[in-house]
A and B are shown apart, each in its own frame.
Chain A
Amino acid sequence: MTRHVTLRVLRNKAGSAPRYETFSVNVPESANVLDALERAWHEHDRSLTFRHACHHASCGSCGVRIDGVEKLPCVTPVADYPAGATLTVEPLRNFPVVADLAVDAGRLYRGLDALQAPITRPAEALREAAGAELPEGVAGFKRFENCLECGLCLSACPAMATDPHYLGPAALAAAERVMLAAPAEAGPAILRLLDDEHGLWRCHSAFECTEVCPSNVQPAEALMRLRGMVIRAKFRRLLGREKGST
């Protein structure tokens, strides 16, 4: 069973003005939007530029906006939209566009670099599994980073639109994970780094990052917890219970 999909794609090439172009394709009923984009590329225009790799929400490279909402098209079924609807596909906001739907995600990685946040951190035992008897042949349970580094949160964040130096929700959520991994070693330095107008205090609590995150990272909540840590640390210093300065 196939479905007819109409894609209205924002085209943007160097040297020409941005414009919308419509592609009509037929895809299986079970297809995702990325499949439809690939079909459009294959059947209609080989210059249509978009980024993708894994096709299963692991690499985080294919993020776009579909009808204005940040999504990973590789795991967004076309069946989520009404039959016959035209899907408007646009690049992520708050990143420079390289071509069509491909953006320069450097801003995301520079934020992570500033915090020396690892792409993945050493695996740790799942809380639920702690103390549980391991199945035969299984050495241990491991939990990996939830964040795909897809940049959807940076696109959805309104504060990113007006502060080009804002670290952004993904990096700030990563900062909390680094702190939790090594609170004694990394904590004070990270809190000092984040206690800045381009850090924790740039967020204006719209919570859109959490709304669009495809991996349940909940960056806004992490950011608020970090704010709480900074404020409590300041109070402790104010009351003379802790040495140090920010």
Chain B
Amino acid sequence: MMSVQDRPARRDPLQWFNLRGRRGAGLWAFVAMRLSGIGLVVYLYLHLVILRQLAEGPAAWDQFVALAKSPAFLLLDVLLIAGILVHGLNGLRLTLISFGVGVAQQKTLLAGVVALTVVLTALSFYAIFFLKG
């Protein structure tokens, strides 16, 4: 669209993660959104690679299931849930404020995102490690 022209500037995505001097919670949310987004995309591909083992027969799959039950792997599950919560709940926050809803309360909404993420992640941790299915 723009009639705006600018001399070519160096595009530097690393500046997205430059928190030096930043004061608001908004940039932390911005960074968390990007990191969780990248993490979820990586997870999606890992998930597809792992599902492929189903094609290699029961033995290969059982071997993976044994690995998936290890505490270290279960911790990764908790991390995955935390990433989904951060990305999903903050996505709802951003959708709301992009509709012009709750703009003045965006920091309160962010606090709600953080609180819900912490509580639901803690519940997930408890369910994964202490509830016997």
Give me the interface of A with B, judged by CB distance under 8 Å: 65, 67-70, 93-94, 96, 104, 106-107, 110-111, 113-114, 156, 158, 161-165, 167, 193, 196, 198-199, 204-208, 210-212, 220-221, 224-225, 227-229, 231
Given contacts A96-B9, A196-B1, A206-B26, contact A227 B16 (CB under 8 A): no
27 contacts between A and B (CB under 8 A): A65-B21, A68-B20, A69-B21, A93-B15, A94-B9, A96-B9, A104-B7, A156-B22, A158-B15, A158-B27, A164-B11, A165-B5, A167-B4, A196-B2, A199-B1, A199-B2, A205-B30, A206-B29, A210-B24, A211-B24, A220-B26, A221-B103, A227-B98, A228-B98, A228-B99, A228-B100, A228-B101
Partner of B30, one of A107, A111, A113, A204: A204
B11 to chain A, nearest CB (A): 5
Chain A residues lying within 8 Å of B22, measured Cβ to Cβ, are 68-69, 156, 208, 211
Contact across chains for B100 and A208 when beta carbons are under 8 A apart: no
Measured in the bound complex, the distance between the Cα atoms of B22 and A158 in whole Å is 10
Contact across chains for A225 and B100 when beta carbons are under 8 A apart: yes
Contact across chains for B12 and A161 when beta carbons are under 8 A apart: yes
Contact across chains for B3 and A205 when beta carbons are under 8 A apart: no
Measured in the bound complex, the distance between the Cα atoms of B33 and A76 in whole Å is 33
Chain B residues lying within 8 Å of A164, measured Cβ to Cβ, are 6-9, 11
Count of B interface residues, CB-CB < 8 Å: 34
Chain A residues lying within 8 Å of B97, measured Cβ to Cβ, are 205, 224
Give me the interface of B with A, judged by CB distance under 8 Å: 1-9, 11-13, 15-16, 18, 20-24, 26-27, 29-30, 33, 94, 97-101, 103-104, 106
Measured in the bound complex, the distance between the Cα atoms of B23 and A162 in whole Å is 21
Given contacts A161-B13, A204-B30, A208-B27, contact A224 B103 (CB under 8 A): yes
Chain A residues lying within 8 Å of B8, measured Cβ to Cβ, are 164
Chain A residues lying within 8 Å of B24, measured Cβ to Cβ, are 206-208, 210-211
A198 to chain B, nearest CB (A): 5
B46 to chain A, nearest CB (A): 26
Chain B residues lying within 8 Å of A163, measured Cβ to Cβ, are 11
